[in-house]
Amino acid sequence: MGSQGGFYQSKEFLDLVKSIGEARSKAEEDRIVLSEIETLKRRISEPDTPKRKMKEYIIRLVYVEMLGHDASFGYIHAVKMTHDDTLLVKRTGYLAVTLFLNEDHDLIILIVNTIQKDLKSDNYLVVCVALNAVCKLINEETIPAVLPQIVELLAHPKEAVRKKAIMALHRFYQKSPSSVSHLVSNFRKRLCDNDPGVMGATLCPLFDLITNDVNSYKDLVISFVSILKQVAERRLPKAYDYHQMPAPFIQIKLLKILALLGSGDKQASENMYTVVGDIFRKCDSSSNIGNAILYECICCVSSIYPNPKLLESAADAISRFLKSDSHNLKYMGIDALGRLIKISPEIAEQHQLAVIDCLEDPDDTLKRKTFELLYKMTKSTNVEVIVDRMIDYMISINDNHYKTEIASRCVELAEQFAPSNQWFIQTMNKVFEHAGDLVNIKVAHNLMRLIAEGFGEDDNTADSQLRSSAVESYLYILGEPKLPSVFLQVICWVLGEYGTADGKYSASYITGKLCDVAEAYSNDETVKAYAVTALMKIYAFEIAAGRMVDMLPECHSLMEEFLASHSTDLQQRAYELQAVIGLDAHAVESIMPSDASCEDIEVDKALSFLNGYIQESIEKGAQPYIPESERSGMLNISNFRNQDHHEASSHGLRFEAYELPKQTVQARIPPASLASTELVPVPEPVYPRESYQTTTVPSVSSDAASTELKLRLDGVQKKWGRQTHFPSTSTSNSTSQKTVNGITQVDGSNTANSRTRETYDSRKQVEISPEKQKLAASLFGGPSKTEKKSATGHKSSKPSSHMVKSHAPKSSMEVASEKTSPVQQPPDLLDFGEPTVKSTAPSLDPFKDLEGLLEPTTQVSSAVNHSSTAAVTKSPDIMGLYTETPAGAHHKDSDILSGLSNSPMTNMVGGTTTMQVAQTSKSPNLKDSLEKDALVRQMGVTPSSQNPNLFKDLLG
C-alpha cells in the first residue's frame, strides 16, 4: 500500500505537535495548549473560513481535547461539519463528534437529522460513516428515529454496511433491549450472511441475546457447531486467517456462545464435544492466538456439561500454560484452573507448586489472580493459611480498591470456614486494623452479631469464652495509637455488652477505657456515640447487679461535655445515661437486661398493654380511635393533621380536646413519648421507650407503627432525628440475618470437610524447598493420606522436563542479548519475543512470526536484514545503542521527548544522526523512514533529531 502517511496538515499544526512534544513539563504543555485554544477560538468563529481550513481546525480541536483540555467551544462547529456535502469534510465532522460527545450530550439532537439523511445516501461510504456515528451517539431516546432505516440497511448490497448495521442494532440492544426485541429474527438471518465479516459481527448481538435468555436459542446450537467446524476446517477465505490460525476471533466468539448454550444442558453439550475436541487438537500452542483459543476452549469445557475426555484435554492445556515461562500464560493458566476446579477439584493439586510460585511472583497481577484462585479453593482445612496470606498481602498494598476487595474476601472466607472462634476474632481484628474504614460497615455489624450469638451452638460456655477472648483482644488492641472508626465501633459495642460479663475486668476499668476512646477520637461522633451507649450499658449492668455505681471523674467530665454537645444524638445519649443511673435496680434491669442483644423482641403491634388506659379515657368521655381507613373526607391531608382536624371538629371545645392528642399519642406510639420523657424521667413512660431502645426492635418493619412514628416525630424531628437511627442500624442486622448465617455456616464446613478428605496428598518434592512444600501441603491438604502413589513419579518427572524445556530458549536469548546490547535492557521491548520464547524449540527465531506479518515487499528486505544485521535485530531495543553512540550527546533516555526537546545546536547535528540511525536500525523500512524524515524536515519540523524512537517501526 505504500506510505499513506503524508502530512496533510499545515505547518502550524505540525509546529504545535512538535512544541508539545518538546514541552518539558506539564505546565509548559498546558501553556502551549491554552494559547492554541485561544487561537482556535478566534479562528473558528471567523466567517467564511474555507472548508479545508475548518477541517484542520476541527482536527486540532480533537488533538487539544485528547490532551485533556476542554474544547467544548468548538463542538457546535463539529456538528455543523457533519452537515457538509463532501465526504471528506463530513467524515472529519463525524469523527470529531463521536470523539467529543457522550451519548447524553445536548447537541446530539442536532445530529440525528443529519444521520437520518446520511443513512439514506446512495454512497455507501457516507452510510458507513453515519453508522459509525450511530453506534456512538444514538441514545435511548433517539433510537426510534433511526431504527427503521437501520433495519433496512441489513439488506444493503455492501457487506460493510450490513456489518455496521448489525453492530448498530447490537448497540441499541445494549442501550434498551426492548427497542430491538422484535428484530431477533434479523440477527438469526444475518448469521447465514454470505460475508464472513457480517456473520462474525452478528455473533456479537447473538452473544448478548443468548446471555440474557439461553433457552430461546437452543435450536441454534447445531448451526453454531457447524459454523465453528467450518471455520476450524479453514473454509473461510484466507483473509480471515490470523497468524496461520483460521479466523481465530470468530472461533473465540463461537466458543463463548457455545459455553453459554451448553451450560447445564447435556443434550446441547453432546453436540459440541467433537468440535471442541477438534479445536483442542488443532490449536497451535506456540502462538499467542492459538493459546487464546485454547483458553476459550477451557472456559467452554468448564461451562458445558462435563465430558471426561475434554476435561483431560483442558487439564493438559492448563498445565502447559502453568509451566510456561510467559507470565501471560501463567496468568491465563491460573484463571483457567479456577474455572476447572469447580468441576474437577482434584486437578488443582497437580499444579500446587506452580500455584505457589505464582503466589510468590513479584508480578502483582499474577499474584492477585492467584489469590482469586485460592479464594475459590478455600475450605476449612486450608482457610487459615490462605486468609493469613491474603491479610499479609492486604497489608502490603496501597491500592484501596483492591484492599477493599481482598478484605471483604477475607471476611467472607473467615465467616464461612473459621476453624475456631478465637481465630475468627483475631482474623477480623487484623482485617479491621489494616483495612479499617475500607471495610463495609455491614461486616462490622456481622462481627458484632457473631460475637453476640456465638457460633450458633447451644454451648453457652463456648460462647462466653468467645466473648471473653474478644474483650481481651480488644482491650489489648485499644493500646494502638490509631484505629479505624468502624473497628472502634465494634470494640465499644463489645466492651459495653460483654466487658464486665465474665467478671475479669472491673466496671471502672472498662469504663475508663471507653472514656479514653471517646476522648482520643473526639472528632468521630459515631465512635463517641457508641462509647456513651457502652458506658450506659456497663453502668446499667452494675446497678442491676446491685453494686454501687461510682462514676469516674473523666466520665463525669465527658458527660458534661456531651450534655452540651452540638450533636443532638450525643446529647440525647448523655441524658439517657444520666437518667438510667438515677433509677433503681429493678427498673434498670428491665430497661437494660444483660446479654439480651439477640433476644427476640415481641412487638405488640396492637399495643394491647394500653387497653386499660384507653378504656379509662373512653369512660371519661374521650372519643374512640377511628382507623384511618374508616375515616371519610379529608383525603389528601397528611395523617397527622387529619387526626387533629377530625378530633377538633368533633369536639366543639378546645379545652377537652387538649387531652385527646395525648391519648392518641400514648395509645399508639410509645416512642413518641420520648420527646416528653426525655427531660423528666418519669418511670412509667420510660418503660416502653427504653425497652425499645436497648433491645432495639427494628420497629420500622411494622408498617403501621412506623408511619405513625414518623408522623408523630415530625414536630420534634429536628431535635431528635438521629436518635432512632443509631441503635436500630447497629442491631437490626443481628436479628434479621441470624438464621441465614447459621445455616450457611454448617453447610459450608460440612461440604468442605468431605471434599478435603478426597484431596489430601503427601507427595514429596525433591527439588523444592521445604518451606514451599509446607505451604503447598497446607494449601492443598494436610500430609495425612497417601492416595496417589502414581502421582509421585508423574510429578517428579514433570518439573524436570519443564526445566529442560525452559532452559534452552532462555539461554539462547541470553546469549543474543549479551552479544548485542549490553547497554540496554533485555529483548522484550517488543513482546514478540515472549510467546515464542516460552513455548517452542530453541531453534525457532523469535522474529519468524514477524515475517509473515509484513508486506511482501518489506518481507524481502527484512529477510535480508535478518541475515546481515542479525545481531542488531535480535535485540529490539538496539535503538538505545544508537542514540548514545553516534550522536555523542549522551542522552539518558532515548525517547522521543528528550529527542524532540533538543537544543537548536544539537539539532543540526541531530539531522544527520537521525539519518544514520534510521539507516542502520530500521533497515527493513529504511526507505520509508527516510522519506518520512525528509518530509518532516522539509516541512521545517525536525521532530526527532536525536531520537530515533519516533521513526522506529512499531512492528519491529
Residues 554-613 that bind another protein (CB under 8 A): none
- Which range of residues in 89-97, 581-589, 698-706, 786-794 is near another protein by CB under 8 A? 89-97
Q: Which helix (H) or strand (E) holds 213?
A: none
CB nearer another protein, residue 182 or residue 238:
238
Q: Residue 21, interface with another protein (CB under 8 A)? A: yes
Sites for another protein among residues 459-478 (CB under 8 A) = none
Binding mask 322-361 for another protein (x = CB under 8 A): -----xx-xxx-----------------------------
User: Could you tell me the smallest distance in angstroms from the CB atom of residue 548 to another protein?
Assistant: 56
User: Could you tell me the smallest distance in angstroms from the CB atom of residue 307 to another protein?
Assistant: 21
Residue 677 main-chain phi, psi, to 5 deg: -80, -15
User: Could you tell me the smallest distance in angstroms from the CB atom of residue 283 to another protein?
Assistant: 12
Binding mask 612-651 for another protein (x = CB under 8 A): ----------------------------------------
Q: Residue 17, interface with another protein (CB under 8 A)? A: yes
Sites for another protein among residues 285-324 (CB under 8 A) = 288-289, 291-292, 295-296, 299
* Residue 401, C-alpha cell as written in the block: 480498591
- Which range of residues in 40-48, 577-585, 661-669, 830-838 is near another protein by CB under 8 A? 830-838
Centre a 10 Å sphere on the Cβ of residue 425 and count the other Cβ atoms it contains: 24
Out of 46, 213, 363, 502, which residue is the one contacting another protein (CB under 8 A)? 363
Centre a 10 Å sphere on the Cβ of residue 520 and count the other Cβ atoms it contains: 14
Binding mask 116-135 for another protein (x = CB under 8 A): -------x-x--xx--x--x
Out of 106, 157, 239, 905, which residue is the one contacting another protein (CB under 8 A)? 239
Sites for another protein among residues 933-952 (CB under 8 A) = 936, 943-944, 949-952
Centre a 10 Å sphere on the Cβ of residue 155 and count the other Cβ atoms it contains: 12
CA 455/CA 459 separation, integer angstroms: 9
Q: Residue 67, interface with another protein (CB under 8 A)? A: yes
Q: Residue 518, interface with another protein (CB under 8 A)? A: no
Nearest to 577 by CA among 558, 594, 554, 596: 558
Residue type at 776 in one-letter notation: A
- Which range of residues in 109-117, 145-153, 397-405, 675-683 is near another protein by CB under 8 A? 397-405
- Which range of residues in 85-93, 421-429, 553-561, 594-602 is near another protein by CB under 8 A? 85-93
* Residue 263, C-alpha cell as written in the block: 451450560
User: Could you tell me the smallest distance in angstroms from the CB atom of residue 479 to another protein?
Assistant: 36
Q: Residue 820, interface with another protein (CB under 8 A)? A: no
3-state secondary structure of 828: coil
Nearest to 538 by CA among 582, 589, 495, 487: 495
CB nearer another protein, residue 94 or residue 498:
94
In sequence order, what are the residues at sequence separation of 6 or more whose Cβ sits closer than 8 angstroms to the Cβ of residue 3? 928, 931, 932
Q: Residue 536, interface with another protein (CB under 8 A)? A: no
CA 489/CA 852 separation, integer angstroms: 65
Nearest to 609 by CA among 663, 667, 662, 661: 667
Sites for another protein among residues 773-802 (CB under 8 A) = none
Q: Which helix (H) or strand (E) holds 717?
A: helix 717-720
User: Could you tell me the smallest distance in angstroms from the CB atom of residue 686 to another protein?
Assistant: 50
3-state secondary structure of 569: helix
CB nearer another protein, residue 402 or residue 687:
402
User: Could you tell me the smallest distance in angstroms from the CB atom of residue 786 to another protein?
Assistant: 36
Count of CA atoms in the C-beta half-sphere (13 A) of 299? 18
Sites for another protein among residues 866-905 (CB under 8 A) = 879, 895-897
Sites for another protein among residues 170-229 (CB under 8 A) = 170-171, 174, 196-197, 200-201, 204
Q: Residue 244, interface with another protein (CB under 8 A)? A: no
CA 691/CA 540 separation, integer angstroms: 13
CB nearer another protein, residue 366 or residue 385:
366
CB nearer another protein, residue 277 or residue 826:
826
Size of the site for another protein (CB under 8 A): 113
Q: Residue 828, interface with another protein (CB under 8 A)? A: yes
CA angle at 23 for the pair 43 and 95, rounded to the nearest 5°: 45
The beta-strand segments (E) located in 323-381 are none
Centre a 10 Å sphere on the Cβ of residue 476 and count the other Cβ atoms it contains: 10
CA 257/CA 209 separation, integer angstroms: 10
User: Could you tell me the smallest distance in angstroms from the CB atom of residue 735 to another protein?
Assistant: 32
Q: Residue 85, interface with another protein (CB under 8 A)? A: yes
CB nearer another protein, residue 94 or residue 720:
94
User: Could you tell me the smallest distance in angstroms from the CB atom of residue 153 to another protein?
Assistant: 14
User: Could you tell me the smallest distance in angstroms from the CB atom of residue 202 to another protein?
Assistant: 11
CA 570/CA 555 separation, integer angstroms: 14
Sites for another protein among residues 408-437 (CB under 8 A) = none
Nearest to 377 by CA among 400, 356, 401: 356
Q: Residue 146, interface with another protein (CB under 8 A)? A: no
Residue type at 152 in one-letter notation: E
In sequence order, what are the residues at sequence separation of 6 or more whose Cβ sits closer than 8 angstroms to the Cβ of residue 879? 824, 894, 917, 921, 948, 949, 952
User: Could you tell me the smallest distance in angstroms from the CB atom of residue 239 to another protein?
Assistant: 4
- Which range of residues in 455-463, 720-728, 754-762, 824-832 is near another protein by CB under 8 A? 824-832
User: Could you tell me the smallest distance in angstroms from the CB atom of residue 167 to another protein?
Assistant: 4
- Which range of residues in 17-25, 486-494, 694-702, 776-784 is near another protein by CB under 8 A? 17-25
Q: Residue 257, interface with another protein (CB under 8 A)? A: no
User: Could you tell me the smallest distance in angstroms from the CB atom of residue 956 to another protein?
Assistant: 8
Handedness of CA 211, 213, 218, 224 (dihedral sign): negative
3-state secondary structure of 574: helix
User: Could you tell me the smallest distance in angstroms from the CB atom of residue 277 to another protein?
Assistant: 20
Nearest to 146 by CA among 176, 173, 169: 169
CB nearer another protein, residue 351 or residue 952:
952
Handedness of CA 421, 423, 429, 431 (dihedral sign): negative
User: Could you tell me the smallest distance in angstroms from the CB atom of residue 895 to another protein?
Assistant: 5
Please give the full DSSP string across 875-928, using - where no structure is assigned: SGGGHHHHHHTTT-S--SS--HHHHHT--HHHHHHHHHHHHHHHHHHTGGGHHH
3-state secondary structure of 125: helix
Angle between helices 308-323 and 288-303 (to 10 degrees): 140
Out of 925, 942, 945, 946, which residue is the one contacting another protein (CB under 8 A)? 925
User: Could you tell me the smallest distance in angstroms from the CB atom of residue 387 to another protein?
Assistant: 20
Q: Residue 858, interface with another protein (CB under 8 A)? A: yes
- Do the Cβ atoms of 203 and 254 come closer than 8 Å? yes
* Residue 706, C-alpha cell as written in the block: 412506623
- Which range of residues in 238-246, 443-451, 629-637, 758-766 is near another protein by CB under 8 A? 238-246
Out of 95, 394, 532, 697, which residue is the one contacting another protein (CB under 8 A)? 95
Out of 401, 566, 654, 892, which residue is the one contacting another protein (CB under 8 A)? 401
Nearest to 40 by CA among 8, 18, 62, 68: 62
Q: Residue 28, interface with another protein (CB under 8 A)? A: no
Long-range contacts at 931-937 (CB < 8 A, ≥ 24 apart)? 931/3, 932/3, 932/5, 935/6, 935/7, 936/7, 936/14, 937/911
CA 559/CA 565 separation, integer angstroms: 9
Nearest to 716 by CA among 681, 671, 683: 671
- Do the Cβ atoms of 489 and 727 come closer than 8 Å? no
DSSP, res 454: T
- Which range of residues in 399-407, 526-534, 562-570, 731-739 is near another protein by CB under 8 A? 399-407
